[in-house]
Chain A
Amino acid sequence: MFGAASSVLAVTLLGGCAWGPSSADHAAADHVATALDEAASGVAVATVVVELVGQGRTTTPVADVTLRDAIADVAGAQRTVADIVPTRDVAALRADAVQAVADALVAVADARAWVDGTSSDDEAGVARALDDAARTIDAVGQDLGG
């Protein structure tokens, strides 16, 4: 009885060692991908808000709060991606992801400044920065997936 239990324990532990690294790769990559999706969502929200403000279809308070929420989402993604301890295989991609999400955060914060009238940027510049941020996140996501 005791012998069988020991065998099960040994197999479980050794199995865990064998399963460990590749599973850690997957887990890190999954976490980075999830954080990138969150950041991309925040950037997409900001893009819609800038479009709405440009067309005069929303009010400044609503646009401001929506962008504040988008900033919270992208900042959450930034913390998630920075928190991940990557394996060597994923380290370079994680660094790209950190940079992409940081750039996205700047773009969304700049969009809020534009909406609140405290930025010298014009609508096209703000929209372009958001577009670039979205494309960069997408590219890192593609690398991660491939």
Chain B
Amino acid sequence: MKKLFAVALGVLTAIGGFVDIGDLVTNAVVGARFGMSLAWVVVVGVVGICLFAQMSGRVAAVSGRATFEIIRERLGPRVGGANLVASFLVTMLTLTAEIGGIALALELASSVERRLWIPFAGLAVWLVLWRVKFSVLENAAGLLGLALVVFAVALFQLGPDWDELVRQVTHPSVPPDEAAPTYWYYAVALFGAAMTPYEVFFFSSGAREERWTVEDLSTSRANVLVGFPLGGLLSLAIAACATVVLLPRGIEVTSLSQITLPVALAGGKFLLALVILGIVAATFGAALETALSTGYTLAQFFGWSWGKYRRPAEAARFHTAMLVAVVVGTLVLLTNVDPVAVTEYSVVFSAIALPLTYLPILVVANDPEYMGEHVNGRATNALGLGYLVVIVVASLAAIPLMVATGAGG
């Protein structure tokens, strides 16, 4: 019974925690421009994150090492250091976007300018990181994030032409008024949003925080293999809402407020309140995860004492790193940079940095010295290698596509 509860809780938090500001913005932008013709990318991204998250969780549970400890061990200080710089900067960019997302959602709820919410959002993130236990912050944010299910409810209430939506999903093509490079640029952005590197840092470090052992592998697998695909369905619901309401009206998504329009049209004030709650929870949860990931990556690379299970005095540099990351993210936003623009860049730079995270995990998951009998099976390896090719192609294509399309023009 206790195990069943643990699985159910894990699955629910995985669903609620799957969507962050990157998924919200990118899926809505894509739905409003391309309809459901890029839904296949979400499917590819979800399968990829399932594959690598369960691999990194298994590595952490079996070998007792989190992602950046492995990167340091396998790549050495120099190459590992370059990896650290790139991964850390991408995670910082994502953290900045998430704090901006909290401020945008609070602005929407209150009509008070987002710049006034930014310091409050940063302070709230830091206070929770400082005071709240790992299991509480992980579960609370994930469960509240489930409120985003209203996108799926709204889609049903809007009564769309399901045949047309399914046709767009199953017969993807570049819309006539869009250029092919723009289509592929957004495909890369959507892929980056689904497979953000911080999710793997957080997942593998969380396995250590919760002291997973080999006995926990089945629970972890259930969380990932059930929770993430259901979270992916939420992403598709966001895109579908934009497809049904925003695309026919020629509305271009440039702000968070536009993403909530389909929900208000479908369900009025009640669903609107729920969606704002869900956005605050999703961005707040992701801000916690990304802030923790900045501390995890630095501490694991440099061999510092780390973990939320340790009191701040016992892991001072880990906690200081997180505090500095939150302060820097908050200060960047106070320069009046647009959080939606930061989000759009963060998902593309995530795609660029993907091989840096996923290659070492794949290598170690195949290493009997670390994994013993729990090395990857043939099927997992074949899929992992296939994904590595996709990840490298997306990474290499990202910058040329960004330049060619003027960042999606």
A residues lining the B interface (CB < 8 Å)? 37-38, 40-41, 44-45, 47-49, 52, 55-62, 64-66, 69, 72-73
Contacts and interface: CB of A to CB of B under 8 A. Distances in A.
B85 interface: no
B268 interface: yes
B250 interface: yes
A61 B254 contact: no
B269 interface: yes
A65 B251 contact: no
Given A58-B272, A60-B111, A61-B108, A69 B249 contact: no
Nearest to A64: B111
Please classify the interface of chain B as helix (H, G, I), strand (E, B), loop, or mixed, using the class held by over half of its residues: helix
B158 interface: no
Given A38-B252, A41-B251, A56-B268, A48 B261 contact: yes
Contact of B250 (A40, A59, A62, A72): A40
Contacts of A56: 268-269
B261 A59 contact: no
Contacts of A38: 252
B111 A65 contact: yes
A37 B269 contact: no
Given A40-B250, A65-B257, 18 more contacts: A38-B252, A41-B250, A41-B252, A44-B249, A45-B261, A48-B245, A48-B251, A48-B265, A49-B261, A56-B268, A57-B265, A61-B111, A62-B109, A65-B107, A66-B255, A69-B258, A73-B252, A73-B254
B264 interface: yes
B269 A58 contact: yes
Contact of B269 (A44, A57, A72): A57
A68 to B, nearest CB: 8
Contacts of B272: 57-59, 62
Contacts of A47: 249
A31 to B, nearest CB: 11
Nearest to B271: A57
Contacts of B252: 37-38, 41, 73
Nearest to B261: A48
A124 to B, nearest CB: 20
A62 B108 contact: yes
B117 to A, nearest CB: 11
A55 B272 CA distance: 14
Contact of B264 (A44, A58, A65): A58
A18 B107 CA distance: 52
Contacts of A49: 261
A52 B260 CA distance: 12
B110 interface: yes
18 contacts: A37-B252, A40-B250, A41-B250, A49-B261, A57-B269, A59-B272, A60-B111, A62-B108, A62-B109, A62-B260, A65-B108, A66-B108, A66-B260, A69-B254, A69-B255, A72-B254, A73-B252, A73-B254
Contacts of B268: 55-58
A61 B109 contact: yes
Interface in B231-260: 245, 249-252, 254-255, 257-258, 260
A109 to B, nearest CB: 16
Contacts of B261: 45, 48-49, 52, 66
Given A44-B249, A45-B251, A48-B261, A61 B110 contact: yes
Contact of A62 (B251, B254, B257, B265): B257
Contact of A66 (B109, B110, B258): B258
Contacts of A41: 250-252, 254
A73 B246 CA distance: 15
B57 to A, nearest CB: 39
A48 B110 contact: no
B32 to A, nearest CB: 9
A85 to B, nearest CB: 19
A62 B251 CA distance: 17
A36 to B, nearest CB: 10
Residue from B107, B250, B257 whose CB has the most chain A CB atoms within 10 Å: B257
A75 to B, nearest CB: 12
Given A38-B252, A41-B251, A48-B249, A62 B264 contact: yes
Interface in B269-311: 269, 272, 276
B182 to A, nearest CB: 13
Nearest to A62: B108
B265 A52 contact: yes
Nearest to A47: B249
Contacts of A66: 108, 255, 257-258, 260-261
